[in-house]
C-alpha cells in the first residue's frame, strides 16, 4: 500500500481511510511505521526468478524500489520504470535429467575475433559449474564460482543451505532439510514406505530417482520421460499433465507391454499409476499411439478432483475403482482419447473405406450417443459383448468424503470443482 505521484489526492491510503475509518486506519499506519518503515531506509528488489514451464534461472536485479524519507507514509517514492538494462544480471541454469544444476551462464556474451578483427563466434559467460557425487555433495576441486553471488540452487534444483555444513553440503526443499554428504534427511519422510527407512532418500538410488520437494519419489525412466514430453505437444494433455505434476499426490507414468488401446489407472494405496500402451492401434479405431496415454491421464485428473477413487478388494486381493466410477468418467476419457482420431481406414478384405470408431464417436451430438458408441466399440475390441462398461452407473457419481482418505481400505480425495 504505497502512495505515489500521479495518484488521486491521498492515493490508496485515503480510500482505505474512508472505508475503514480513522481509528482503524491510524492503528494500521502506526503498525506499518513501527514494523517496516524507518526514516532514510531504502527498499530494493534483490532478485526475481525467471520461469518458463519450469525455473530457468534468476535475475539479480538489485534495483532500488522505494525510499522512506519522512515520518508519513504518503511521501514514499516509487520507481515505476526501468530505464536501463545491464547484461550479466540474468543467470540461467543448465541441469541434467535429475534436475541437478550443473552449470549456470549469464546473458552476457564475449566476442572472440579472428586475426582480421572480425567476430568469429561468441562465448557464454560461465557463472558457476559443479560436479556432484551420487547423493549430491559437490566434488572437491570440481566446482567454480565467478563471483560472490554464485547460484542458490543445486541438486534436484533444490536451494542450497551453506550456513549449516558448508558450501554444497545441505539443501532445503518444502518437506526436508537434506544432508548431501550422508544421503539422509533431517526429518522423517511425510510419505513413508514400509520397506524403506523414514530417513532414506531417493529409494537409496539417486541415479534413477529424484525428489524435488522432499516428499515423494519421481521416476525418471528415460523412455517414459521422452514419451510424456512428446505427448505434451498436445495442448489439452499438457494442461492435464501440469495439474498432476503440481499435485500433492504422487502420479507415476508407466509404459506397459499390453496390447494396443489397453491401459489402466491403478494404485498401490500410496501412488496412482497411469499405465498405458504405446503399441500401434488398429486402423479401425482411428487412434494414434498416444491415445491410451491421453485416456488414462484423464482418469488421473478425475481422481485428483475427487470424481473417482479406489477401494481395496479383499476377495481378489487388489485395489479397484470405487462406486464413484461411472460411464460419464469414461465419456470424458474417450473425449481425450479420440479427440484427434482419423476419419476413415481402408479395409483390405472388402476393399473399401470405413469410418473409424473415433470418427463415429466425435460425430455424436448427445452424451447418450457417445455412450452407445463406447459400448459398441469396446464390444468390438473384446470380440464379444463387453459387460464391463455396460455395468457402470449411467448417472453422475462423485466421491462423498469431505476430506482425503488414504488408508489400507480406501484411497480417495474429496470432490471439488475444477
Q: Which of 174, 210, 178 is closest to 97 using CA atoms?
A: 210
- pLDDT-above-90 percentage for the chain: 31
In this structure, the strands spanning 63-68 and 77-78 are antiparallel
d(CA 312, CA 266): 11
Question: With 0-12 CB in 10 A as exposed, 13-18 as middle and 19+ as buried, what is 100?
Answer: buried
The answer to whether residue 22 scores a pLDDT higher than 90 is: no
Confidence of residue 25 (pLDDT cuts 50, 70, 90): confident
- pLDDT-above-70 percentage for the chain: 84
Least confident of 93-97, 188-192, 239-243, 335-339: 188-192
pLDDT at 27: 75
* Stronger pLDDT, 239 or 44, i.e. the higher one: 239
The answer to whether residue 104 scores a pLDDT higher than 90 is: yes
Q: How far apart are the first and last CA of the chain?
A: 33
pLDDT at 301: 95
Grouping H, G, I as helix, E, B as strand and the rest as coil, residue 63 is strand
Least confident of 25-34, 122-131, 133-142, 371-380: 25-34
Give one DSSP letter per residue of 182-230, joined into a string: TTEESS--SS--TTS-TTB-GGG-TTTEE-SSSSS-EE--HHHHHHHHH
For 223, phi then psi, to 5°, come to -65, -45
Confidence of residue 12 (pLDDT cuts 50, 70, 90): low
d(CA 218, CA 228): 14
d(CA 271, CA 259): 24
Confidence of residue 228 (pLDDT cuts 50, 70, 90): confident
d(CA 166, CA 160): 10
Least confident of 22-31, 46-55, 167-176: 22-31
pLDDT at 36: 59
* Stronger pLDDT, 10 or 282, i.e. the higher one: 282
Q: Across residues 93-101, what is the average pLDDT? A: 88
pLDDT at 2: 32
pLDDT at 129: 93
309-338 residue pLDDT tens: 999 998 888 899 998 999 999 999 999 999
d(CA 178, CA 172): 6
Q: How far is CA 21 from the centre of its chain?
A: 44
The answer to whether residue 415 scores a pLDDT higher than 50 is: yes
Grouping H, G, I as helix, E, B as strand and the rest as coil, residue 60 is coil
Give the predicted TM-score (pTM) of the model: 0.51
The answer to whether residue 73 scores a pLDDT higher than 50 is: no
Q: In the numeric block, which cell numbers belong to residue 39?
A: 526514516
pLDDT at 349: 80
Cell 516428499 -> residue: 215
Neighbouring C-beta atoms of residue 157, cutoff 10 Å: 18
d(CA 370, CA 333): 12
CB environment 27-55: b (16+ within 10 A), e (fewer):
ebbeeeeeeebeeeeeeeeeeeeeeeeeb
d(CA 277, CA 256): 5
Confidence of residue 15 (pLDDT cuts 50, 70, 90): low
Q: In the numeric block, which cell numbers belong to residue 307?
A: 470424481
Mean pLDDT score of the chain: 82
Amino acid at each position: 500500500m504505497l502512495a505515489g505521484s500521479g495518484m488521486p489526492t491521498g492515493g490508496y491510503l485515503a480510500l482505505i481511510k474512508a472505508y475503514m475509518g480513522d481509528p482503524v486506519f491510524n492503528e494500521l499506519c502506526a503498525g506499518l511505521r513501527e514494523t517496516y518503515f524507518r526514516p532514510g531506509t531504502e527498499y530494493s528488489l534483490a532478485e526475481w526468478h525467471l520461469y518458463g514451464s519450469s525455473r530457468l534461472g534468476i535475475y539479480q536485479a538489485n534495483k532500488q524500489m522505494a525510499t522512506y524519507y519522512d515520518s508519513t507514509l504518503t511521501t514514499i517514492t516509487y520507481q515505476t520504470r526501468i530505464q536501463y538494462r545491464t547484461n550479466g544480471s540474468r543467470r540461467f541454469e543448465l541441469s541434467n535429467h535429475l534436475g541437478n544444476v550443473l552449470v549456470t551462464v549469464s546473458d552476457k556474451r564475449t566476442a572472440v575475433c579472428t586475426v582480421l578483427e572480425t567476430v568469429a563466434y561468441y562465448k557464454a559467460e560461465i557463472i558457476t559449474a559443479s560436479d556432484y557425487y551420487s547423493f549430491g555433495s559437490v566434488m572437491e576441486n570440481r566446482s567454480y564460482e565467478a563471483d560472490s553471488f554464485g547460484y542458490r540452487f543445486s541438486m534436484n534444483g533444490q536451494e542450497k543451505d551453506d550456513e549449516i555444513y558448508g558450501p554444497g553440503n545441505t539443501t532445503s526443499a518444502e518437506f526436508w532439510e537434506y544432508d548431501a554428504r550422508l544421503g539422509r534427511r533431517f526429518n522423517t519422510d511425510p510419505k513413508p514406505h514400509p520397506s524403506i527407512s523414514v530417513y532414506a532418500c531417493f529409494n537409496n538410488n539417486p541415479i534413477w530417482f529424484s525428489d524435488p520437494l522432499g516428499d515423494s519419489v519421481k521416476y525418471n525412466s528415460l523412455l517414459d520421460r521422452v514419451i510424456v514430453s512428446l505427448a505434451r505437444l498436445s495442448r489439452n494433455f499438457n494442461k492435464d499433465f501440469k495439474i498432476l505434476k503440481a499435485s500433492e499426490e504422487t502420479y507415476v507414468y508407466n509404459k506397459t507391454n499390453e496390447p494396443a488401446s489397453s491401459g489402466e489407472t491403478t494404485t498401490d494405496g500410496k501412488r496412482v499409476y497411469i499405465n498405458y500402451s504405446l503399441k500401434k492401434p488398429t486402423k479401425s479405431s482411428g487412434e494414434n499411439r498416444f491415445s491410451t496415454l491421453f485416456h488414462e491421464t484423464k482418469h488421473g485428473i478425475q481422481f485428483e478432483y475427487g470424481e473417482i477413487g479406489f477401494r481395496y478388494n479383499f476377495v481378489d486381493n487388489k485395489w479397484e475403482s470405487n462406486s464413484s466410477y461411472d460411464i460419464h468418467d469414461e465419456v470424458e476419457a474417450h473425449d481425450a482419447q479420440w479427440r484427434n482420431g482419423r476419419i476413415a481406414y481402408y479395409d483390405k478384405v472388402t476393399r473399401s473405406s470405413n469410418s473409424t470408431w473415433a470418427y463415429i464417436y466425435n460425430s455424436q451430438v448427445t452424451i447418450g450417443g457417445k455412450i452407445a458408441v463406447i459400448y459398441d466399440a469396446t464390444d468390438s475390441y473384446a470380440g464379444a459383448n463387453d459387460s464391463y462398461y455396460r455395468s457402470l452407473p449411467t448417472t453422475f457419481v462423485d466421491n462423498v468424503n469431505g476430506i482425503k482418505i488414504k488408508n489400507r481400505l480406501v484411497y480417495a480425495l474429496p470432490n471439488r470443482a475444477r
